[in-house]
Amino acid sequence: MRVFVTGGAGYVGSHCVRALLAAGHHVTVFDSLINGHRAAVDPRATFVQGDLLDLATLRSALQSAAPEAVLHFAGLINVGESVQQPLLYYRANVLSSLHLLEAMQEQGVRRMVFSSTCAVYRPPERLPLVEDMPRAPISPYGETKLAVEWLLSDCAAAWGLGSISLRYFNASGAAADGTIGEAHRPETHLIPLVLQVALGQRPDIAILGDDYPTPDGTCIRDYIHVEDLAAAHVAAVAAINPGQAEFLNVGTGIGHTVQAVIEAARSVTGHEIPARIVARRPGDPPALYADPTRVRQRLGWSPKWTDLREVVGSAWRWHSTHPHGYPDVR
């Protein structure tokens, strides 16, 4: 299949591009490089530097690529920043998706896989999270993702768009061969931050509260390996039903505490990784983990990376060999 990948120079997108190529697809990456890295894009993919907010460039790139499906990763991802700058996030995540859908409708492209998030759910009263639980995001970031899910449902009804929104839990780890990995600036994700301590790039790791109702008092999250996420996308793109908007959790179904992640990093790196307890961050639910039953049934997908030490180990292979991330060739 010819596939058009927005945000394919970013963390999750770049791993998916590789998996799509390995599955025999022809890939065009469309990325503004606002947060992505040219060096993360597999050289076998066609690369177009462009912004989804620039409708003319987008139209022309989509026309040249003539894709049968679009995988839409592009967007801004920082929850805290979205609280400070909601207009920026609605523009970057909702308006850009609107442009993409307009261009797709014009050109008759009727398949999309969308990067959604567990942040669309209301902080849960019971776990694991099942797709039908109430959606009521507590951040503008989550709201923008939910707004796109609504758009996809409305386009399914109106012009037959088929889509699968994958609601990721915490994307983690790096390619097994250590050649591509996570390089966000600023970094806000736990595993890379912990590994930066092991690299001597920060003195310690701040634990945001140790008085949650969890076994060791720290928050529980579901760490899904980025290669497992990539495999879910490859399965999803082949499974889209015309005229249907579907929503699937992509997580392991297993939660790990912040302390457990730090312990795994200590064991993998051999570094003591000093930690310090600071105040809770407002809005952090004590625990989040997926019920992956629906994705297993619907796509025949299940995670291969189920050992937290191996997930952290894959991240360490990347960070220890690329301590400053990618060379930014822009």
Ligand X SMILES: NC(=O)c1ccc[n+]([C@@H]2O[C@H](COP(=O)([O-])OP(=O)(O)OC[C@H]3O[C@@H](n4cnc5c(N)ncnc54)[C@H](O)[C@@H]3O)[C@@H](O)[C@H]2O)c1
Q: Does 252 bind ligand X (CB under 6 A)?
A: no
> What are the phi and psi torsion angles at 164 (to 5°)?
-125, 120
Site stretch for ligand X (CB under 6 A), options 30-38, 120-128, 251-259, 308-316: 30-38
Among 53, 88, 157, 158, binds ligand X (CB under 6 A): 53
Which x/- pattern over 150-169 shows residues binding ligand X (rule: CB under 6 A)? ------------------x-
Place of tokens 């061969």: 177
Smallest separation (angstroms) from ligand X to the CB of 182: 7
The torsion angles phi and psi of 63, rounded to 5 degrees, stand at -65, -45
In whole angstroms, how close is the CB of 309 to ligand X at the nearest point? 19
CA distance 211 to 277: 10
Q: Does position 13 bind ligand X by CB under 6 A?
A: yes
Pick from 3, 4, 5, 7 the residue near ligand X by CB under 6 A: 7
Strand pairing of 256-257 and 220-221?
antiparallel
Q: Is 303 near ligand X (CB under 6 A)?
A: no
Smallest separation (angstroms) from ligand X to the CB of 272: 27
Find the helix or strand (DSSP H, E) in which 114 lies: strand 111-117
Sign of the four-CA dihedral 194, 196, 197, 198: positive
The DSSP annotation for 181-225 comes to: ----SS---HHHHHHHHHTTSSS-EEEE-S-SSSTTSS-EE-EEE
- In the bound complex, what is the minimum distance in angstroms from residue 23's beta carbon to ligand X? 19
List the catalytic residue out of 11, 89, 121, 141.
141
By the criterion CB under 6 A, which residues form the site for ligand X? Answer: 6-7, 9-13, 31-36, 51-53, 73-75, 77, 92, 96, 115, 117, 168, 170-171, 184
